[in-house]
Amino acid sequence: MEERKGAVTLKGSPVTLLGREIRIGDKAPAFSVLNQDMETVNSGKFSGKIRVIAAVPSLDTPICDSSIKRFNDEATRLSKDVVVLFISMDLPFAQKRFCQDNNIKRVKTLSDYRDADFGEKFGVLIKELRLLARAVFIVDKDETVRYVEHVKEIATPPDYESALEAIKKLV
């Protein structure tokens, strides 16, 4: 598997990402993750929708917490053709608790903890920690990646405005 050393940092320290770097224009790789009920969800379930896919280290961290809340709020203003997915290594039980405690209704949380399938295929799996690096991908209805942001310093938020602009261009 491809290793990208120092592709991003965590609190200033370089980390290694596993998997090929996804770029604008690539076909989005198919992947499998778990939903809050521990059921396998294949990415094909969201075919025909514009997908905002946010990879995050853990919902129980301040940046991830504020990111999911921001995207949840923004999702209420987006077309029904847009689905927002937050994928982390958090256990599905923890994701369910987080969403209930924080009234997250428009964002779907998915767990990659079992197989790291998403993390490896989207090139955001942190080798040293087995967590996902912070990144945002926007995939159109034809499975083409139209926007990518690999947040260079994992402990900082993504560029919300750029991601929202990219979504608006696809709707």
CA 60/CA 119 separation, integer angstroms? 18
Instruction: Provide the CATH number for the domain around residue 124.
Output: 3.40.30.10
Count up the domains in the chain and report the number. 1
Phi/psi of residue 131, nearest 5 degrees: -120, 170
From residue 42, how far is each of 34, 96, 161 by CA, in Å? 9, 19, 28
The answer to whether 99 is a known catalytic residue is no
In the set 22, 53, 59, 64, the catalytic residue is: 64
CA 29/CA 133 separation, integer angstroms? 17
Per-residue pLDDT, 76 = 86
Provide the residue range defining the domain that includes 14: 3-170
CA 37/CA 34 separation, integer angstroms? 8
| Model confidence pLDDT, tens digit, residues 47-82 | 999 999 999 999 999 999 999 999 999 988 888 999
pTM, 2 dp: 0.96
Q: Is 106 exposed, middle or buried (0-12, 13-18, 19+ CB in 10 A)?
A: middle
